[in-house]
């Protein structure tokens, strides 16, 4: 269990349970405001100010400058929207309506965008600022998945659009169905080994980003897309998407409660290691079917939740056996190698956490599990 909090005046770590630690904690809690999800900008701003470390906001400009500005690829978006298939905070995804006649009117468009591409594509609309949208498109293109076929502005000027490879659903919905049907991946050898195998695709995508010193900063099941076989539910392809928050290191604080690196209590920036924490929680949610001790309800103010959650990070001085037995009973017998991986991915302070290469080479990702 994590038990230290840093004194913002002396920068020294103090025991959370001591009188002094409690005082510091109260100070944190009164300074910070609550809220949920991505709309926590105020909270993040306050946290940053409180910790007194101002970030350089120019950090993303060189990424933006490398891509083509949106020019003439303006299309009528309204008549291309089929069924709505997903919605996040900024973007809404629809099946692309592929009426040949409609594409035909937009000559430049129909040349580079084949009918077969269209059939398996989704059109996402967003009214985000141009600059953010372009940065996101740039990073997604560099990561090569989901493949973007076309992007630009809608004719009515209200939205930016991107047309990209369509996935069956996001990992959140895939997991939700499993819970509904009482399918436990951990108890199904085939599904479990398939899951760890395809999850590696996400790890490689993240390694690509990290090698460029870019953190994704919003890793969670809603931002991982899957294609799967409808009968067996085995996953064919899994990719990381939504580069809306991705930033070069060091980054100011943004993300999603319960997935965000709780070490921001001590250091007001996010790093590449913050992605490893979110990835660890994503694995935990996916395979143990719930957030368990690591999640707090939406009703708990964000700042209090953070304090609750950091207590469950393993510290390097805590034995893995102790950490597992406190948090994962009765799941602790299920897959000790998996829990060993989580122990190293969720560690606080973050400098002790695995980096992406250590995650990729961990035994769990490189051996098949047996459920008997
Ligand atoms: N390529 C895709 N194929 C299928 N669904 C997608 C695709 N991209 C996004 N979605 C759906 O749209 C939702 C919102 O997209 P996302 O890029 O996460 O935007 P936001 O920034 O609003 O979170 C996703 O959670 C997912 O359900
Ligand atoms: Mg999203």
The CATH number of the domain holding residue 323 is: 1.10.510.10
In a domain, 134, yes or no: yes
Query: Ligand 1: which residue has its CA nearest to atom 1?
Result: 166
Q: What is the pLDDT of residue 223?
A: 97
Residue 242 in contact with ligand 1 by CB distance below 6 A: yes
Phi (first) and psi of residue 152, to 5 degrees: 165, -150
Cβ distance 125 to 154 under 8 Å? yes
Q: Which residues pair with 121 in a beta bridge?
A: 165
- The percent of residues above 90 in pLDDT, for the chain, comes to 48
- Cβ density class 279-301: b for 16+ within 10 Å, e for less: bbbbbbbbbbbeeeebbbeeebb
Give the residue whose CA is nearest to atom 25 of ligand 1.
222
* Pairwise pLDDT comparison (333 vs 104), residue with the higher score: 333
Q: Cα 223–332–179 angle (5° rounding)?
A: 40
**104 and 186 co-located in one domain:** no
Sheet holding 224-228, edge to edge: 169-170, 224-228, 235-240
DSSP class of residue 167? P
Half-sphere exposure of 340 (CA within 13 A, CB side): 9
Does residue 213 share a domain with residue 137? no
242 with 316, same domain: the answer is yes
Assigned domain for 320 exists: yes
| CATH number reported for the structural domain that contains residue 131 in this entry | 3.30.200
Compare 9 and 275 and report the one with higher pLDDT: 275
Is 335 near ligand 1, meaning CB less than 6 Å away?
no
Q: At which residue do the structure tokens 């965008």 appear?
A: 113
Mean pLDDT of the chain: 81
Q: If you average pLDDT over residues 297-326, what whole number do you get? A: 88
pLDDT for 36: 33
Q: How many Cβ atoms from other residues are within 10 Å of residue 205's Cβ?
A: 20
CB 342 within 8 A of CB 280: yes
Structure tokens at 311: 């207590």
Which of 90, 91, 128, 151 to mutate to test ligand 1, by most ligand atoms within 8 A of the CB atom?
Answer: 91
**Closest residue by CA, ligand 1 atom 16:** 242
* Domain annotation covers residue 109: yes
Would you state the pLDDT for residue 1?
56
Q: Are residues 173 and 316 in the same domain?
A: yes
Residue nearest to atom 17 of ligand 1 (CA): 242
Alpha-carbon gap, residue 239 to 227, rounded angstroms: 9
In a domain, 61, yes or no: no
Distant-in-sequence, close-in-space partners of 10: CB < 8 Å, separation ≥ 6 = none
Tell whether pTM > 0.85: no
pLDDT at 187 over 60: yes
Residue 162's beta-bridge partner residues? Answer: 124, 151
Mean pLDDT of all residues in 51-59:
35
**pLDDT confidence band for 267 (50 / 70 / 90):** confident
The pLDDT tens digits for 27-54 are 555 443 333 333 344 444 544 443 433 3
Does position 23 have pLDDT exceeding 70, yes or no?
Answer: no
How many residues are present in the chain? 372
Nearest CA among 334, 281, 289, 282 for reference residue 312? 281
Q: Tell me, yes or no, whether 301 and 319 share the same domain.
A: yes
pLDDT at position 57 is 36
pLDDT beyond 90 at 194: yes
- What pLDDT, in 10s, does the model give residues 125-170? 999 888 889 889 999 988 888 998 888 889 888 999 999 999 999 9
* Residue 309 in domain: yes
Q: Are residues 197 and 105 part of one domain?
A: no
Asked if the structure places residue 58 within a domain, the reply is no
Q: Is the same domain home to 188 and 315? A: yes
176 and 304 fall within a common domain: yes
What is the pLDDT, as a whole number, of residue 130? 80
Count how many domains the chain has. 3
Range of the domain at 16: 4-51
| pLDDT-based confidence at residue 202 (cuts at 50, 70, 90) | very high
As given in the structure block, the two tokens for residue 298 are 């939406």
- Whether cis (ω within 30° of 0) applies to the bond prior to 192 is no
* Binding site membership of 275 for ligand 1 (Cβ less than 6 Å): no
Examine residue 259 and state whether it is found in any structural domain, yes or no.
yes
What is the Cα–Cα distance from 175 to 286, expressed in whole angstroms?
A: 7
Q: With 90 as the cut, is the pLDDT of residue 355 above it? A: yes
> Of the candidates 108, 134, 165, which is a domain's last residue?
165
| Same domain flag for 252 and 358 | yes
3-state secondary structure of 297: coil
In a domain, 347, yes or no: yes
Above 80 in pLDDT, residue 175?
yes
Q: How would residue 61 be classed by pLDDT, with cut points 50, 70 and 90?
A: very low
Supply φ then ψ for residue 353, to 5 degrees: -70, 155
If asked whether residues 161 and 174 sit together in one domain, one would say no
DSSP-based helix, strand, coil % in the chain, nearest 5: 45, 15, 35
* d(C-alpha 255, C-alpha 220), whole Å: 10
93 lines ligand 1 (CB under 6 A): yes
The answer to whether the beta carbons of residues 60 and 248 sit under 8 Å apart is yes
| Residue 200 CA, ligand 2 centroid: distance in Å | 20
User: What does the pLDDT look like over 68-92, one tens digit per residue?
Assistant: 544 447 888 988 899 999 999 899 9
Give the alpha-carbon dihedral of 17, 19, 20, 21, to 10 degrees.
20
- Are 136 and 230 part of one and the same domain? no
| 11 shares its domain with 47 | yes
């Amino acid at each position: 269990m994590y038990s230290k909090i840093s004194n913002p005046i002396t920068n020294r770590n103090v025991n959370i349970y001591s009188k002094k630690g409690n005082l510091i904690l109260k100070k944190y809690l009164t300074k910070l405001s609550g809220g949920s999800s991505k709309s926590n900008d105020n909270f993040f701003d306050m946290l940053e100010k409180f910790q007194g470390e101002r970030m350089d906001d120019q950090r993303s400009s060189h990424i933006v400058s490398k891509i083509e500005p949106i020019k003439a690829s303006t299309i009528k978006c309204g008549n291309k929207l089929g069924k709505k298939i997903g919605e996040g905070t900024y973007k809404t995804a629809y099946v692309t309506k592929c009426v040949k006649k409609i594409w035909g009117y937009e000559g430049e468009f129909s040349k580079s965008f084949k009918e077969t591409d269209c059939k398996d594509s989704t059109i996402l609309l967003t009214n985000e600022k141009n600059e953010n949208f372009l940065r996101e498109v740039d990073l997604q293109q560099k990561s090569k998945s989901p493949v973007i076929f076309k992007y630009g502005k809608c004719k009515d000027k209200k939205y930016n659009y991107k047309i990209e490879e369509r996935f069956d659903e996001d990992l959140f919905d895939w997991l939700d169905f499993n819970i509904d049907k009482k399918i436990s991946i951990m108890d199904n050898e085939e599904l479990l080994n398939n899951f760890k195998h395809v999850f590696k695709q996400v790890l490689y995508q993240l390694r690509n980003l990290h090698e460029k010193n870019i953190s994704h900063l919003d890793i969670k099941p809603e931002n991982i897309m899957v294609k799967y076989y409808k009968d067996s539910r085995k996953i064919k392809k899994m990719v990381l998407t939504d580069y809306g928050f991705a930033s070069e290191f060091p980054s100011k604080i943004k993300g999603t409660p319960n997935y965000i690196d709780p070490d921001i209590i001590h250091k007001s920036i996010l790093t590449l290691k913050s992605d490893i924490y979110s990835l660890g929680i994503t694995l935990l949610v996916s395979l143990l079917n719930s957030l368990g001790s690591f999640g707090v309800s939406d009703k708990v103010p964000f700042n209090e939740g953070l304090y609750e959650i950091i207590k469950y990070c393993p510290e390097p001085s805590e034995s893995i056996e102790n950490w597992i037995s406190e948090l994962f009973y009765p799941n602790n017998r299920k897959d000790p190698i998996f829990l060993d991986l989580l122990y190293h991915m969720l560690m606080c302070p973050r400098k002790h956490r695995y980096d992406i290469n250590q995650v990729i080479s961990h035994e769990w990702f490189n051996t098949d599990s047996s459920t008997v």
